A and B are shown apart, each in its own frame.
Chain A
Amino acid sequence: MSEKLIESAKEIIGKLKGRGLDGDVFGVNCRNVEYGIKKGELTDSSEYDDVGLGIRVLKDGKLGFGFCTPGYEEKGVKQAVEFSKVSQKIDLKFPEEEHVPKVETFDSKIEQVISEGKGADFTQELIDGCVSYAEDITPTMGGVEIYLGSEIVANTNGVLLEKKRTAMLGSVMATIPGEKTSITASEKEVSKKSDIDFKNVGERSAEKVDSMRNEVTLPEGDIPVMLESRSLNQLLGFGLIPSFNGENVRKGKSVYSDKLGEDVAHSHLTLKDDPTQDWGIGSSPFDDEGVVSRTLEFISHGILKGFMYDLKEAHKSETESTGNAIRANFKSPPDISERNLVLRGKDTPREELLPDGGILVDDIMGAHTANPASGDFSIVATPVWLIENGEKKGRIEGVMLSGNLPELLKTIQLADDYKKTYMSLGGRSLKLDTPSARVDDVIVSGK
């Protein structure tokens, strides 16, 4: 599917070289398929194909950007050249050819899934799994998403790289209707491979909402808090990761500016961006500027090790790109972003994390309101369960959590339930491999 794209990219590079200009091209050719559930039924089926190229050109030391679809290369190049006039002066060096690591990101079975329209069948499996659990539980939202795509980066130094990626996602929101308000809980599973047990995802969503029927009150006094990975992920994404962004560091908008080499977290904790992890949700062999992927440690055994850079910020900060350039689509120039975030450390079996009971937080609302510069957050937690003797005693409504992310890292205790996932919130998408965790330095307040 990518021949047309490669031809088009080569033509653009040819045109740039013909004008004696440096530049690069990022091309995408992908298919996104989506099936939606409403009220216990498959209700929506849709897909779209996207093909296009983003062009960057360096003219008189200024970086211009334009985009086009195959067949309109000349127009795209012209636009990029034209726009370079209003751009900043920057002495950007595009990457040279380099050895590209092998990273597993493509499952050919997903091509078959798409061509046979199997997503509809998977969606039905999600539904069946959920409704088979209890009579009054319905999957009210959710569905299946499938991605198949090819991305290329080419530049005037002769680099021409291609990566193919696949991904699948199944999600269900299970609901028990109620008088004043209904009770809901959701489950999600993401994979780069065609290996999701959709029926099981449906069952798990029903099991979760079933355990929420009974409402209990938040006990008085200090109480241990366990965050499911998806709650932790949101806090990490909005309250912590911005502080590892090289631009924020240079501009003093990071809590970690001037702290390299210092103790910033519990000595067992390692947080890294590892796009070379096979089948990692955000993995791929090179970034969206053609910089070859490598593991970047942010925190290693509690010590602050590094920050992330794309080519432009690396130039400004007088360092090297760490391969952290990501483009939202071919129409956007690259931006600095984590790619495949991995959190590791000394872990405790999940069941042993709350030996004296506590609360278990499944999901949170408002993580994107965390202060990205300070890491302060104040959010609503829901669903929340009261845990006693390792068992869910019932749900607690109206729980609020507040605290500071960098502070939490100093006492955090990880569970052993590592999970690869993806989430999209507040205009950002995060790809991670993290466990759930116990956090003690949070203020818990109830209604």
Chain B
Amino acid sequence: MSFKEIIDKVVADGAAYCDIRKEHWNKTSLTLKDGVPEMVAQGEEEGAMVRVFYGNGWGCVGTNDLDDIQETANRALTMAKKSARYKESETDLADIEINQDKIKIPMKEDFRDISAEEKLSFLKELEYNLSKNFVKSTDIRYRDSLVEKEIITSEGTHIQMEIPRLVAYLIVTGKSDTIQRASEGTGGTGGYEITEKTLDKTNVVLDRLETLLEASTPPSGKMPLIMDPHLAGVFSHEAFGHAAEGDLVASDNSCLKGKLGEKVASDIVTIKDDPTMEGYGSFPYDDEGTKTRNRVLVKEGTLNDFILDRENAWKLDLEPNGGARAEDFRVKPLVRMSNTIMEPGDMKFEELLEEIKGRGVYAKASSGGQVSPAQGTFQFNAQESYLIEDGEIVKPLRDVSFNGFTLDTLQNITGITDKLETGIGHCGKGQTAPVSDGAGHVLVSEVMVGGRE
């Protein structure tokens, strides 16, 4: 039976909706640790997920055995029926435009045509550039993946798309009195041409590590903070973006619930999440077959939109905007971000510095963090930081972490510079999604900085 026939049968058995998402993956990963290829793997795999909506219940079943989709669909229907017994409140899918489309994101240079030897020699070149006397250890990671997807729904949508992605990470470690680590990643949606950007990053990580090795521990307390574009991008994604995910909003797990049209940030703040722009998190259709569009989440300080899949758009009475993404065919799509950008402003970096009277911190690049979208709280660590005194950068700091309430912090943004820079990331929400984020330099008038002093 064809996928179309399987879907028709599930609908004939009483389901309100059914879709099948089939994926074929081609992946390569290379890791060069201290010049030694530690992990090299290459492989192909394929599989599919069947989603069935019955009554108010869902059943989603994924498999990597494509000979057995009929059985997989039966299991999804059984699961949806059982789940419907417990699901009392009404739910539905908001309407979308029905599309038949075939789309291929181009690779200027197809990474499948580059031999493993050649990829490895590129990593060795990076390694060579990172060999400095203060570098104790290097870790260079390369990943490329090409996914061919086919999404067929009981409503007639039929999307076929090919999405290539590539990412490379540089991690260096050095030692003074303690061990310090600096990392940078580059990546994008496209082909091997993306690696051109990686070479420039070697100097960035080297400078960062050298700085960290002579850095002191930070002060703690409330103070002004300048975030560099990478950290501000991560802040926009983590602290704000997650709270703007429609599933969290609709299930009362977001501090932005009920705030549409309200002021949530200072007037100079505009944040968008745009899968259609160039970036590591780009895609033309989401995993429900909805055509993607730019989402302006905050417009000049006012909450303007959420990231939405079809069910949560229905619950919130808004329009789906292509927010459903699944890591692969094993799992169901969730509401996820794509390329999250805080729009640049009109200031210069020096002007931000001048705003700081007394003590402040300039923090660059993130080394991780955690957020609670429900409580609207965040905690981040910066990779590289500097102490500011009366508008002057005084000395480097390490292990700087800061935390606060997202909405307070957005209100406290008093300056944004005019140059956008973007970075890449892997967003975790039970599933991993390739994303990018970006901003200008951002001045926050007050945030809680915590150090080890």
Residue-wise, chain A 149-191 has the 8 Å CB interface mask toward B (1 for contact) of: 0000000000000000000000001010100011110000000
B45: contacting residue among A64, A67, A445, CB under 8 A: A67
B330: contacting residue among A50, A253, A445, CB under 8 A: A50
Q: Is the CB of A69 within 8 A of B401?
A: no
Residue-wise, chain B 136-166 has the 8 Å CB interface mask toward A (1 for contact) of: 1100000000000000000000000000000
Chain B residue nearest to A367 in the complex (CB): B370
Check: B12 CB closer than 8 A to any chain A CB.
no
A230 to B: closest C-beta gap in Å: 14
Chain B residue nearest to A400 in the complex (CB): B450
Q: How many residues of B contact A (CB 8 A)?
A: 78
Chain A residues within 8 Å of B377, by CB: 181, 365, 380, 382
A177 to B: closest C-beta gap in Å: 7
Q: Is the CB of B173 within 8 A of A88?
A: no
Q: Which of A17-25, A40-48, A273-281, A337-345 contacts B (4 or more CB under 8 A)?
A: A40-48
B51 to A: closest C-beta gap in Å: 8
Check: B38 CB closer than 8 A to any chain A CB.
yes
Q: Is the CB of B38 within 8 A of A366?
A: no
CA distance A378 to B401 in the complex (A): 7
Q: Is the CB of A47 within 8 A of B87?
A: no
Chain B residues within 8 Å of A44, by CB: 58, 60, 83, 332
Q: Is the CB of B374 within 8 A of A184?
A: yes
B367: contacting residue among A51, A138, A184, A369, CB under 8 A: A369
Chain A residues within 8 Å of B195, by CB: none
Q: How many residues of A contact B (CB 8 A)?
A: 72
Known: A68-B43, A117-B79, A124-B86. A141 touches B450 (CB 8 A): no
CA distance A219 to B219 in the complex (A): 21
Q: Which of A79-87, A260-268, A350-358 contacts B (4 or more CB under 8 A)?
A: A79-87
Chain A residues within 8 Å of B367, by CB: 369
Known: A52-B45, A374-B178, A398-B448. A45 touches B58 (CB 8 A): yes
Check: A208 CB closer than 8 A to any chain B CB.
no
Q: Is the CB of A83 within 8 A of B332?
A: no
Q: Which of B247-255, B265-273, B336-344 contacts A (4 or more CB under 8 A)?
A: B247-255
CA distance A251 to B175 in the complex (A): 12
A444 to B: closest C-beta gap in Å: 11
Q: Which of B62-70, B287-295, B385-393 contacts A (4 or more CB under 8 A)?
A: B62-70
Check: B42 CB closer than 8 A to any chain A CB.
yes
Check: B37 CB closer than 8 A to any chain A CB.
yes
Q: Is the CB of A184 within 8 A of B375?
A: yes
CA distance A38 to B315 in the complex (A): 12
Q: Is the CB of B86 within 8 A of A120?
A: yes
CA distance A197 to B399 in the complex (A): 42
Check: B348 CB closer than 8 A to any chain A CB.
no
Check: A447 CB closer than 8 A to any chain B CB.
yes
Chain B residue nearest to A368 in the complex (CB): B368
Check: B372 CB closer than 8 A to any chain A CB.
yes
A331: contacting residue among B41, B79, B332, B375, CB under 8 A: B41
Nearest 5 CB-CB pairs, A to B? Answer: A373-B179, A48-B62, A46-B60, A38-B251, A365-B370
- Residues of A bordering B, CB below 8 Å: 32, 35, 38-39, 41-52, 64-69, 75-76, 79, 82-83, 85-88, 117, 120, 123-124, 138, 140-141, 173, 175, 177, 181-184, 251-253, 331-333, 365-366, 368-369, 371, 373-374, 376, 378-380, 382, 398, 400, 402-403, 426-427, 443, 445, 447
What are 19 contact pairs spanning A and B, CB under 8 A? A35-B83, A45-B59, A45-B83, A47-B62, A47-B75, A48-B63, A49-B62, A49-B64, A50-B64, A50-B330, A51-B64, A67-B43, A184-B375, A251-B34, A253-B173, A366-B370, A369-B379, A378-B450, A400-B448
Q: A47-B75, A88-B36, A365-B371 are in contact. List 13 more A-B contacts (CB 8 A).
A: A38-B250, A42-B86, A44-B58, A46-B332, A49-B64, A82-B42, A85-B117, A86-B117, A181-B377, A332-B41, A374-B179, A382-B375, A400-B403
